[in-house]
Chains A and B, each alone.
Chain A
Amino acid sequence: MNIVVAIKHIPSIADDLPVKGNNVDFDSVDFVLNEWDEHSIEQAVLIKESVGGTVTVIGVDLIGELDNALHLALAKGADKVVKITADDPAADSHMQAKWLSEAIKGMGANMVFAGVQASNDLDGQIGPMIAAYLDMPYIGGVSSVEANGDSATVNKEFAGGAGAKYAVSMPFVAGVQSAPKPPRYAPVSKVRQMAQSATVEKVAPSGDADVRERPLRILKMAPPVVTGHAEMIEGSSKEVAAKIVELLKSKGLA
């Protein structure tokens, strides 16, 4: 079983996002691995552990710091890691999907996993776009994948707690919502060991021309402006009630 996991390095939202010009101030933000990608890595490793095969983790290196995430993937059980050396922190999901699919094309993948979304890709574009470029079927909202021969049994989640079981023939692309088990913890010593011993394969971004002409451009980016706040009415219940009546009257509602 040959599984490829496409990952995204994204600006951390643990801090307030700094804005510069019409984009995020990429110089003063930390980049982290997309949390849904942790689930797709876990899902891939679980399949490998049950039926054998190889797991290749690939991502676009936006700021030259992707190695950490790749070493982490190796520590969790990936066999091979690849980075696409783009060095463009502003590369959007369209561009990344193109570069990723070009690199994945020759890998002979039976399954390609991508996190179903990311904090900078809430509409979950990257998975479907990779599928489109690779001309493979796509299934999103995936909560478990079991490989059996040349097809897979895939559980997909719907809103409202409903779920459905699909038989999907390989090769296909899956947008992973969650792995059946919480992503395993990789001890730092193991990650560091990987950093010392493992090799990260480098690939130049290709298919560049198609996506450089972006149909969408960011005109303006700004932190949300606080427009109002709740007023707390204090006092006894009688006082509070009187205040409410007064307020409603002043708005012409009573």
Chain B
Amino acid sequence: MLTTIEKIIFIVLAITAAGFTFHGFKTIIDSIRKGRPAPELKNIPASLLNAGVKVLFQQTIFKARKVLSAIHMGLFFGLITYAIVNLMDVLEGLVPGFDLVYGGKHIPNAPTGLVNAFNLIADVMSMFLLIAITVFLVRRFIVKDKALTYRDNVLLNPKVKAGGQARDSLTVGVFVIMHVVAHVLSQAYRLTEGADPFMPFASFLNSIFGVSETGVHVAWWVSIGWVMFIVPYLSRSKHTHFFMSPINLGLAKQNPRGQLDTPAKVDPGAKFLHDLSWKRVLDSYACVQCNRCQDVCPANFYGRPLSPSALEVNKRYLLKEATFGSHPDRLLVPLTESVISPEAVWSCTTCYACVRVCPVGNEPMADIVDIRRRMLIDGYEIDSGVQNALQSLATNGNWMSKGKRLRGRWAKEMEFPVKNATEEPVEHLWFVGDTASFDERVIPNTKMVARLFNQGGLDFGIMYQNESNSGNDVRRVGEEGLFEQLVEQNMAAFGKAQFKQIVTTDPHSFNTLKNEYPQFGGTFEVKHYTVTLLKLIEEGKLTIKNKLSNYKVTFHDPCYLGRYNGGFTAPRKLLELLGVEFHEMPRNCENSFCCGAGGGQIWMGKVAPGERPAENRIKEALTTFGEGSNAKTQLFIVTCPKDMIMYSDAVKTTGNEGKIEVRDIIQLVAEAVGIEEPIHAPVAA
């Protein structure tokens, strides 16, 4: 179809475009390789294939925004189809007589059915693409969806602030529209014999614009010529997403969610971009700033200057300016000045919601922990509350500045002896945790757990003063050295004890004991107390005497039990057995909303203004219960000592006392089993 001169121009353009594209991706790959080593990945071909399947069915985007995800799916299939369409267009341009209209009847021995099918798919997909891209453009530029913007207090690269991403979106959006319309037109102009039933859209355009040889040429050049410019451009824009996200998904985290990457031995943590592991660098190229992570981020909800997505886009702009631009020195600007503000770094609760929801397998939370690690080493002035907690953890093994010997005091007040697991063998070593051991508000629940274990005939013991904080949150604050010290102390204590499995009260302890202690040689069977209780009931060792049908309850999944470790069923099963009226909140299980205490937030001395995540959660629970009859007591059930504190407080601060009450699941189990707190004789005056 093309003239010889056109063919020459096309080939020169194609070679140039290929060169620029090659250079683009080489630059990207080089900068990824400059990142630090990441944990070794196993069986990469299989996980790439697995990721390919996920991408093909667009599985990972449907975790949020179902409608937009469906449109994204249309866009994705459209673009995949267009990869083949473009190839055919090139063949039509270069190979004389290669013409697919009318089932390819001008091509000798053409498989007519197949060509017709292809024409139909291409034609329909063209319409899909136009609709999908229009929806996205309208969403961004006309409706101005807030989800695509950042809070004013979020640190943004100046180019992003000036609308760099919007320009990328507009460029690609306009390209897609022109490209698709031009392609369909190039087909329409060829329909010399009237409408082709397998090309309804092209036939429609043909009925308006008719047939034109010049039109075919012009439309072909608009459609394919543009590609020569857009493909090299993609590597330099957020649309590297097209290529890098399937790769990133294929190379995503393989170790358990609850296991942080071990920091480097020399200069641990990240000050500059290339102090991050290569996977964290790759993350930034895979991210297309859909902001799903920002939607689920409790810190962002709270008005703090944290946006996981802004972190990724800032990283990419920094890399772009340094590698494609003329500012290699930009990579020597500390991350806390170029990518994420110190306040944002310290407002992360490490709830994992951002990582969980990310369709392309990014881990912005891992960057944050790595940045914290280096800030601590470099002597950054951390929040005084966090510092006090860390200092107490280093000296006392707990964050509450309590003496070690006070840890087991609650157990000594029990009406039956609680075994010391470091002195006599037990079947279950109960790792109680700091809050449950020391906090006066939580100790009654701790004692209730002990009573139920005792009643159920469980052979258990605690480690008294030999237990230290498990270190889960210490590690997430970035204090790796202290974490290691605590692990060593606990491992020494475990070494003194004889036990078959560990049971924990605190989901945070549960997480690190289960997922991170194995890195230090501690491979134990670790259970959360909800699982142990359920087992005691199911085995008939605890009998439910009273059904609690007078309670209307909802359940909050703690991040470190649920999202991190999949412990969704045991608490729900327990509630079912107790006979309560159960209501599920909209944000449940994997999509649970953090209470705001994790990752060291509970230690913070300063409290930021604004509606706290826990307060929002209490409102969510009340909305779930609805306005209906108040004949039943409304309960907010928790299975984490920190939640007990966070939510009891939130009920008060939101003025909902009397409407909803926070209880640990253990209180309900005790009531159903018929165990009451023993009434001590009042002390004589």
Contacts and interface: CB of A to CB of B under 8 A. Distances in A.
B481 interface: yes
B405 A189 contact: no
Contacts of A190: 377, 481
B685 A231 contact: yes
A21 interface: no
A164 interface: no
A187 interface: yes
Contact of A188 (B384, B401, B406, B485): B485
Nearest to B483: A188
B391 A185 contact: yes
Nearest to A191: B481
A30 B403 contact: yes
Nearest to B384: A182
A103 B401 CA distance: 33
B382 interface: yes
A192 B481 contact: yes
A104 to B, nearest CB: 27
Contacts of A30: 395, 403-404
Given A14-B403, A30-B403, A187 B395 contact: no
A15 B404 contact: yes
Nearest to A193: B481
A184 B484 contact: no
Nearest to B376: A187
Contacts of B382: 185
A189 B481 contact: yes
Nearest to B387: A185
Name the prevailing secondary structure of the A interface residues.
Answer: loop
A12 interface: yes
Contacts of B401: 14
B268 interface: yes
Contact of A14 (B376, B381, B396): B396
Contacts of A16: 403, 406
Interface string B652-685: 0000000000000000000000000000000101
Contacts of A229: 683, 685
Contacts of A231: 685
A191 B394 CA distance: 11
B479 A182 contact: no
Contact of B390 (A14, A15, A182, A185): A185
Contact of B482 (A14, A181, A182, A188): A188
A14 B393 CA distance: 12
Contacts of B406: 14-16
B395 A32 contact: yes
Interface in B361-418: 376-377, 379, 381-382, 384, 387, 390-392, 394-396, 401-406
Given A187-B481, A190-B481, A12 B403 contact: yes
Contact of A187 (B384, B402, B405, B482): B482
Contacts of B405: 15
Nearest to A182: B384
B376 A182 contact: no
A1 B287 CA distance: 53
Interface string A163-193: 0000000000000000001101101111110
B217 to A, nearest CB: 68
Contacts of A184: 379, 381
Given A185-B390, A187-B479, A192-B481, A15 B403 contact: yes
A253 to B, nearest CB: 19
A16 B390 CA distance: 22
A189 B384 CA distance: 20
B275 interface: no
Contacts of B485: 188, 192
A191 B482 CA distance: 10
Interface in A139-160: none
B516 interface: no
A148 to B, nearest CB: 25
Interface in A6-54: 12, 14-16, 30, 32
A152 B131 CA distance: 76
Contacts of A187: 376-377, 479, 481-482
A252 B396 CA distance: 51
B480 interface: yes
Nearest to A228: B685
A126 to B, nearest CB: 22
Nearest to B398: A14
A231 B685 CA distance: 8
Given A182-B381, A184-B381, A14 B402 contact: yes
Given A181-B381, A182-B384, A188 B479 contact: yes
Nearest to B406: A15
Contact of B376 (A12, A15, A181, A185): A185
A93 B482 CA distance: 32
Contacts of A12: 395-396, 403
Interface in B238-297: 268
Contacts of B403: 12, 14-16, 30
B682 to A, nearest CB: 11
A192 B685 CA distance: 52
A45 to B, nearest CB: 10
Most chain B Cβ neighbours within 10 Å, of A14, A15, A30: A14
A129 to B, nearest CB: 27
A16 B405 CA distance: 9
B89 to A, nearest CB: 60
Nearest to A76: B379
A164 B387 CA distance: 30
B270 to A, nearest CB: 15
A191 B395 CA distance: 13
Contacts of B480: 189
B268 A189 contact: yes
A32 to B, nearest CB: 6
Contacts of A32: 395
Nearest to A14: B403
B376 to A, nearest CB: 5
A32 B379 CA distance: 22
A188 B392 CA distance: 12
A184 B382 CA distance: 9
A32 B403 CA distance: 11
- The 6 A-B pairs with the shortest beta carbon distances in the complex, nearest first, are A15-B403, A189-B481, A188-B481, A14-B403, A188-B482, A185-B387
Given A12-B395, A12-B403, A189-B377, 18 more contacts: A14-B392, A14-B395, A14-B401, A14-B406, A15-B402, A181-B381, A184-B379, A185-B376, A185-B387, A185-B391, A187-B376, A187-B481, A188-B479, A188-B481, A188-B482, A189-B480, A192-B481, A229-B683
Interface of A: 12, 14-16, 30, 32, 181-182, 184-185, 187-192, 229, 231
13 contacts: A12-B403, A14-B406, A15-B406, A30-B395, A30-B404, A32-B395, A185-B379, A185-B387, A188-B481, A188-B485, A189-B480, A189-B481, A189-B484
